[in-house]
Amino acid sequence: MAWLPFLCALVMGVAFVLYAHSTRRGKFAVWEELLDELELRGDERLLDLGCGRGAVLLAGARRVPEGRAVGVDLWRSADQTGNARSTTSRNAQAEGVQDRVELHTGDLRELPFGDGGFDVVLSSLAVHNIKDEEGRRRAVAEAVRVLRPGGRLVIADIGRSVSLYGGVLGASPVSGVGVRELGWRMWWGGPWMRTRMVTATRAAD
């Protein structure tokens, strides 16, 4: 049993490296690919739910030079270090996309937007932070509400929550609901904490 501490140290070391890679590089690389798959024209209105410091929001903004990239968040520092609207605003300036970025303080369960105003609604690792299931259901229903007919929804999140989102979407006015694994680049320490994605398209009214 003398090897047990070494095995534990090895597993913890690998988990640390995976986590650090996912945070610093993996998440960004995967989202670039997901945004590529959307084949944006460049004039869309995008909404990022729980945008935090702007990892996905700003990558989206770079792809819509004639459009708008809107981020909504409660800026909870418990969910992301250094989380603040002013930080995201500074990041948008640093990326040179501040002219098309709009930030709103608001709750995903009650979005401060009218119906059908967005071509694309994205969310990265945010909805699971709503602790109760009813709240997560409401957030997904709100995401559908603010999509225009034909608009696309992409939610990437951790763990079993994604099945819940798929269930909500199955009973919503959307088509083509799909769920897929996003792979080791978005494992948070190991395969026991991995990211999955659910996608759908808002049906015509």
> What residues line the site for ligand SAM (CB under 6 A)?
50-52, 55-56, 73-76, 79-80, 83, 107-109, 124-126, 129-130
Structure tokens at 157: 């999140």
Task: Kindly state the smallest distance separating residue 79's Cβ from ligand SAM, in Å.
Answer: 4
Question: For ligand SAM, which is the closer residue by CB, 159 or 203?
Answer: 159
Question: For ligand SAM, which is the closer residue by CB, 66 or 110?
Answer: 110
DSSP states along 2-70: TTHHHHHHHHHHHHHHHHHHIIIIIHHHHHHHHHHHH---S--EEEEET-TT-HHHHHHHHT-TTSEEE
Question: For ligand SAM, which is the closer residue by CB, 6 or 192?
Answer: 192
Residue 68: CB partners within 8 Å, gap ≥ 6?
Answer: 44, 45, 46, 100, 101, 102
DSSP, collapsed to helix, strand or coil, labels residue 81 as coil
Question: For ligand SAM, which is the closer residue by CB, 22 or 172?
Answer: 22
Task: Kindly state the smallest distance separating residue 158's Cβ from ligand SAM, in Å.
Answer: 9
CA distances from 125 to 12, 27, 29, 66, 115 (A): 23, 10, 15, 27, 23
Name the residue with the smallest CB distance to ligand SAM. Answer: 52
Q: Find how far residue 166's CA is from the centre of its chain.
A: 15
Task: Kindly state the smallest distance separating residue 9's Cβ from ligand SAM, in Å.
Answer: 28
Task: Kindly state the smallest distance separating residue 44's Cβ from ligand SAM, in Å.
Answer: 18
Structure tokens at 159: 């763990």
CA distance 74 to 59: 20
Task: Kindly state the smallest distance separating residue 22's Cβ from ligand SAM, in Å.
Answer: 11
Question: For ligand SAM, which is the closer residue by CB, 125 or 140?
Answer: 125
